[in-house]
Amino acid sequence: MKRAYKFLLLLYPRGHRDRFADEMLSVFEEASAERAGHASGWYVRFAFAEIAGLLAGAAEAWLERRPEQEAPAVGALPDELAEAQRRVDASIAGMVHAIANHQFESARLHSDRERQARETLRLLREKYRINS
């Protein structure tokens, strides 16, 4: 299933993949591991929902894509800034996953991490004089 998920991530625009693919895959693997012990029917339902969500998300990313407004690829940023952006993205992905699965305590933790990560990112953007 992980291999299929990674393949379907190729449906997203490159900029979106560069920024979010690692976090999306990480959240998927975590959710998949949580459901591994459930009955096969539950896992099939989970897999179907994940693939449907991935396809819908890819379509939405292409429809909303505006090349003139895209942020630079993560690889073009200073390492320190790119890592801070990854932490923000991972926190958001974790929070969305937790909310979707009614894990509200976990969502609160991800929300707190996101707030801290955004502040770090803001400070680094000031340091590198990057507006966004």
63 and 91 inside one domain: no
- The predicted pLDDT at position 119 comes to 93
What is the count of structural domains for the chain? 2
Lowest-pLDDT range, 21-30, 33-42, 106-115, 122-131? 33-42
66 and 87 inside one domain: no
pLDDT digits (tens, 9 = 90+) for 75-104: 466 888 888 888 888 888 888 887 877 888
57 and 21 inside one domain: yes
- The predicted pLDDT at position 116 comes to 93
Question: Which residues form the domain of 108?
Answer: 76-132
Query: In the predicted model, what is the mean pLDDT of residues 1-15?
Result: 86
pTM of the predicted structure, to 2 decimals: 0.47
Residue 132 has pLDDT above 80, yes or no: no
- Integer Cα distance of 13 and 117 in angstroms: 25
Q: Among 70, 91, 107, where does a domain finish?
A: 70
